[in-house]
Amino acid sequence: MTAPIAPADLRSAMILASVRRAFMEKGFDGASMQDLAREAGMSVGNFYRYFPSKAAIVEALITGDLTDLERDFSDILVSPNPMGRLRQTIKRHVEDSLCNGEGRLWAEITAVSLRKPEIAVIVGQMEIALVRNLTTVFSISSGLPLTDVIDRYAAHASFVVMMVMASSMQACDAGKQNADLTALVLRTINQTLDEIPQMTLKG
Amino acid sequence: MTAPIAPADLRSAMILASVRRAFMEKGFDGASMQDLAREAGMSVGNFYRYFPSKAAIVEALITGDLTDLERDFSDILVSPNPMGRLRQTIKRHVEDSLCNGEGRLWAEITAVSLRKPEIAVIVGQMEIALVRNLTTVFSISSGLPLTDVIDRYAAHASFVVMMVMASSMQACDAGKQNADLTALVLRTINQTLDEIPQMTLKG
DNA sequence: ACGGCAAGAATGAACGTTCATTCATGCATT
DNA sequence: AATGCATGAATGAACGTTCATTCTTGCCGT
């Protein structure tokens, strides 16, 4: 049987979605529980029925992002041309995430993760998941065993992740400057992916 | 005559140096004035004789970093081979800044600058200064007029800055993973700099 | 050499505010 | 009547900031 989605979980997910705005505008330390509750459209007391503490919200938020990423990759992995699909997903992500506020959140998460070990663990899990997913794509498109790919190209995966993150954290001025920079980022990512061997198709 | 350094300025500079640790460990919002004062080895009240508010400390801290950068570049610009000197300065910076806590501070600054316009202004000035300095180096080593270089290679400069920042914000695990990643970062930076035309030396 | 004294460096308790968290209470629905 | 969801006022701790006060220093007339 499929796991039934508890209504409370659904509610929690909706709360997490609304709460992002408050965190974007004020930061994790700057946003108060009052702010979060207001943004979620409920009272402070009721808020605590869904999340036992402020720290729990932050952790749930990051964990939720990890779930989203897994979903993106499951799409990529089942596609007929995973590597091509990966490239276009990254392109879209880099071009869209410029001014949508998602970068603010990631900058916040990065800063906190370098400071708080318990957050570092969660972010570390996410990066491990990303690298595993990326190397899996590499493995499929190259035909090499996953273990070999991890040995040789894990750093390539990390590097791509780093570039995507970094470009999402750029200040958005919507000028030529940013467009040129985005182009350079995408070119570099593509060059990095070009270094992964490709399986020669048999006719 | 050289501008005399007021003792108060010297003291402020020392306070800024000591205060970095508190900000690294707790973040800009997380560190209290009591924390900062304790780290600076003085009472809270006395602390306010040197900085009128918490925001002023943050701004002074970032501005101080800008001054440091200008000093680095003045060394580079007067060297006989500015481009080579630039490469080795970047290499040293990327390799050293991995686990020394400077990345924590930059992650914090990045996050705040995406959130607070007044901080964004200061960080923006720093990035402008960096790009101007880098393009000046490009201009010298290529022989092209500065305006041309800015037109064509400002994005290259921004890109290099972005890479250096991003790699300093990586979590430090001191393993093979990080070493490989750093190698990729440095390779990419060098490739980017290779695209700047070099003046042919005349014998 | 020495007591008196102004100047300002330094202190930490106090202030008003805001924070995360809790709890007594109300309002449906059964 | 009873159960579960929701409220927002209450609580105590901690925050940034201020301020009355105490130390430290160096100079003065003697």
CA of A43: nearest nucleotide by C1' is D7
* pLDDT of B91 over the 60 cut: yes
pLDDT at B202: 61
- Mean pLDDT over residues B186-203, rounded? 89
Token pair for residue A27? 């930061």
Q: Are B47 and B33 in contact (CB under 8 A)?
A: yes
- Mean pLDDT over residues A9-36, rounded? 93
pLDDT at B8: 63
Range A7-52: architecture per CATH: Orthogonal Bundle (1.10)
For B104-130, the pLDDT digits (tens) are 999 999 999 999 999 999 999 999 999
CA of A48: nearest nucleotide by C1' is C21
CA of B46: nearest nucleotide by C1' is C10
- pLDDT-derived band at A4, boundaries 50, 70, 90: very low
pLDDT at A10: 81
Q: Are A182 and A102 in contact (CB under 8 A)?
A: no
pLDDT at A76: 96
Domain ranges of chain A: 7-52, 59-194
Residue indicated by tokens 């960096």: B130
What is the rounded distance in angstroms from the CA atom of residue A98 to the CA atom of residue B11?
40
The dihedral through the CA atoms of B88, A177, B152, A163 has a sign that is positive
Q: Are B72 and B89 in contact (CB under 8 A)?
A: yes
Of chain A, the percentage scoring pLDDT greater than 70 comes to 95
- Taking the CA of residue A154 as centre, how many other CA atoms within 13 Å lie in the half-sphere pointing to its CB? 15
The pTM (predicted TM-score) of the whole model is 0.92
Q: Cβ contact (<8 Å) for A114 and B30?
A: no
pLDDT at B23: 97
Q: Cβ contact (<8 Å) for B115 and A104?
A: yes
**3-state secondary structure labels for all residues of A111-161:** HHHCCCHHHHHHHHHHHHHHHHHHHHHHHHHHCCCHHHHHHHHHHHHHHHH
- pLDDT-derived band at B97, boundaries 50, 70, 90: confident
Does the nearest atom of strand C lie within 7 Å of A45's Cβ?
Answer: yes
* Least reliable range by pLDDT among A186-195, B40-49, B162-171, B174-183: B174-183
Average pLDDT, chain A: 92
Q: Which of residues 40-59 of A touch strand D (CB under 7 A)?
A: 42-46, 49
What is the rounded distance in angstroms from the CA atom of residue B190 to the CA atom of residue B187?
5
- pLDDT-derived band at A136, boundaries 50, 70, 90: very high
pLDDT at B177: 84
Average pLDDT, chain B: 92
Which residue in the set B30, B112, B181 is minimally distant from A158, CB to CB? Answer: B181
Which residue in the set B120, B167, B177 is minimally distant from A171, CB to CB? Answer: B120
Measured between beta carbons, the chain A residues lying within 8 angstroms of B163 are: 166
pLDDT at A174: 78
CA nearest neighbour of B127 among B99, B85, B156, B158? B158
pLDDT at B1: 42
From the CA of B34, how many Å to the C1' of D24?
24
Measured between beta carbons, the chain B residues lying within 8 angstroms of A103 are: 114
Size of interface A-B (CB pairs under 8 A): 104
Min CA distance, B54 vs chain A (Å)?
A: 14
Min CA distance, B135 vs chain A (Å)?
A: 14
List Cβ neighbours of B140 (8 Å cut-off, separation of 6 or more). Answer: B77, B82, B83
Q: Cβ contact (<8 Å) for A181 and B155?
A: yes
A1 CB-contact burial (10 Å; exposed 0-12 / middle 13-18 / buried 19+): exposed
Does the nearest atom of strand C lie within 7 Å of A48's Cβ?
Answer: yes
pLDDT at B123: 96
From the CA of A90, how many Å to the C1' of C19?
40
Does the nearest atom of strand D lie within 7 Å of B32's Cβ?
Answer: yes
Does the nearest atom of strand C lie within 7 Å of A49's Cβ?
Answer: no
- Mean pLDDT over residues B7-30, rounded? 91
Fold of B59-194: Tetracycline Repressor; domain 2 (1.10.357)
- Mean pLDDT over residues B187-198, rounded? 97
Write out the residues of chain B at the interface with chain A, using a CB-CB cutoff of 8 A.
24-27, 29-30, 103-104, 107-108, 110-115, 120, 123-124, 127, 154-156, 158-159, 162-163, 165-167, 169-171, 177, 180-181, 183-185, 188, 192
Our CA angle for A58, A60, A65, nearest 5°, is 100
For the beta carbon of residue A128, count every other beta carbon within 10 angstroms. Answer: 10
Element (H, E) at A58: helix A54-78
